[in-house]
Structure 1
Amino acid sequence: MKQARPKRTRQRAAAKQVLPQLSGEAVEALEDRIGHHFRDRDLLTRAMTHPSALSGRNGALKSNQRLEFLGDRVLGLVIAERLFDRRRTEREGDLAPRLNRLVNKQACAQAAKHMDLGRHVIMSQYEIEGGGRERESTLGDVCEAVIAALYLDGGLKTARAFIERAFAPQFEARQGRVKDPKTLLQEWAQSEGHDLPDYQTVDRSGPDHDPRFTVEVRIGDTFRETGSDRSKQDAERAAAFKLLEQVEPFHDTSGR
């Protein structure tokens, strides 16, 4: 009679799940675009691997999710240092909104689009057919994961150089803009005679240590938008930011 495979052996086999691979052409294109040639190309591959490309409960460990966690912190440090150095006359109350506008999923997704990372994301065919490579959350995650991969492979200087390039359009667009998107949206609503923005949490997903909140903002029955991030406050800001882009040209709210 054939004996059942020991549980521990099955777990070890699952842990050895093979990581999907980028083609040599894709790796070279990404390295040229990112501006760094990896000593450990597995880091780049993992950064570009969406959880849907892997099966089993170990899939999350082999995908870009852990790198995303680290990349978010590296990005926060680089942006905080940049603001601290370049905004010497501003107080903490002015610096914090600037930081929050750049260290969030929407800003990371814009950076990923600027660097054309989406086309190389490794994911399931189902996700690809559903537009996964253009999805904001996917692009934001990939950007954060690439930042982490660069940090691990080349250090903080390498990660900083990528951030300066990837976020350059946003750095330029936000010169002089201090107000939080929620404040700007409220001011716009009041100036146009609309109801004040109303924020409602419509979804919460993910584990306790890495939750994801989705918030919907409404202005009366006419305007609505959703935003997602790791905290309710950041999700509210993300929703306000997206609705601002709908209701008026972004530069008109710059406060210059």
Structure 2
Amino acid sequence: MTESETLMKSLGVHIDPGALRLALTHRSYAYENSGLPTNERLEFLGDAVLQLVVTDYLYSTFEDLAEGELAKLRPALVSTRALARIARTLGLGPHIRLGTGELRTQGAEKDSILADTMEAVIGAAYLSNGFETARSVVLRLVTPLLSDKEAMTAGKDWKTTVQELAAARAMGDVRYMVEDFGPDHSKSFRATVAIGGTPFGQGTGTSKKDAERDAARVTVEELTSGRGEADILTLVLDRYLPAAE
């Protein structure tokens, strides 16, 4: 079985070999090989198919959720982290054609490259088989994430949520205080969220961004501890998934 056949078996769909090869061609590889076509146009197409399928699924499945709630739920299913998670499950990384620079920096493990390639593969599946087949592929790959709380919250924009909650409650400006610790070659960061000068959640991470995001997540949990103000992702998980299981 060829590498392409192995990948298509994981995907559960046949894709035209030429389209699949193009979907797996990162721009770094193309630039090093006489300017071959890249997967970016297929990525554009696949993103559109993904967005439509997921939007239709959420609209049809969660009939009592308002537009604003659906708009918060969708990003968790189509985020870079969610798509990268799917790509890793499929073993997509080793199949991506990368340039020497990206190979040197382990580009096949980068969330951004995995997610972009996943969208390109969806685009290739659409071109090879039409919308209904592409739709079934997307649903088979994406909907299991709904029962995975870690995956659902991975794409959550916690910092934006903190801003929205603080503004809605007139609590004051949101600020992040960050400090680093550990040796220079392996620093860690600790962030604390302050709203209106009052400290709230604290988080840690291997970068300032990750520490701030973790602190924002803790802050959201503190601010929405009341059941009536539950976060929409937790609300969906609690309301629908036990019944579905």
Superposed pair shares fold, TM > 0.5? yes
Would you say 1:126 and 2:101 are equivalent positions? yes
When residues 134 and 226 of structure 1 are mapped into structure 2, their CA distance, relative to the original with a 3 A threshold, is: farther
CA distance in 2, matches of 1:149, 1:172: 27
Q: Which runs of 5+ in 2 are unaligned?
A: 167-172, 178-189, 194-201, 222-230, 239-245
- Corresponding residue of 2:2: 25
SS at match of 1:128: helix
Distance in 1 (alpha carbons) for counterparts of 2:97 and 2:215: 27
| Distance (Å, rounded) in 1 between the aligned partners of 2:54 and 2:96 | 25
The residue that corresponds to 1:45 in the other structure is 21
Alignment of 1:71-82 (within 5 A): 71-82=46-57
Supply the distance in 1 between the matched residues of 2:216 and 2:29 (Cα, whole angstroms).
32
Whole-angstrom CA distance in 2 between matches of 1:34 and 1:116: 10
Match of 1:34 in 2: 11
Check whether the contact 1:75–1:147 (CA below 8 A) recurs between aligned residues.
Answer: yes
Contact 2:192 2:215 in 1 (8 A): no
Provide TM-score, normalisation by structure 1: 0.62
User: 1:169 deviation in Å?
Assistant: 3.4
> Which stretches of structure 1, 4 residues or more, deviate above 3 A after TM superposition?
56-59, 177-181, 183-187, 195-199, 217-227, 239-245
Distance 2:110 2:29 in 1: 16
Per the alignment, residue 97 of structure 1 pairs with 72
Instruction: Name the counterpart of 1:55.
Output: 31
* Structure 2 counterparts to residues 146-161 of structure 1, below 5 A: 146-161=121-136
- Equivalent position of 1:69 in the other structure: 44
Question: Which of 209, 234, 244 is the equivalent residue of 1:254?
Answer: 234
- When residues 68 and 183 of structure 1 are mapped into structure 2, their CA distance, relative to the original with a 3 A threshold, is same
Counterpart in 2 of 1:138? Answer: 113
TM-score, normalised relative to structure 2:
0.65
Task: Specify which structure has the higher proportion of helix.
Answer: 2
Q: Report the equivalent of 2:61.
A: 86
Partners of 1:46 and 1:75 lie apart in 2 by 18
Give RMSD over aligned pairs.
Answer: 3.9
CA distance in 2, matches of 1:243, 1:30: 38
**Matched length:** 192
Shift of 1:77: 0.2
Amino acid at match of 1:114: T
Higher RCO (Cα < 8 Å, 6 or more apart): 2
In the alignment, is the contact (CA less than 8 A) between 1:181 and 1:241 conserved in 2?
Answer: no
SS in 2 for 1:62: coil
Identity of aligned residues (%): 31
Q: Which residue of 2 is the match for residue 162 of structure 1? A: 137
CA offsets per residue over residues 159-205 of structure 1, 9 Å max, x none? Answer: 12221222243121259x79953269739xx9xxxx95659xxxxxx
Residue 139 (structure 1) shift: 0.3
Q: Give the Cα separation in 2 of the matches to 1:70 and 1:101.
A: 20
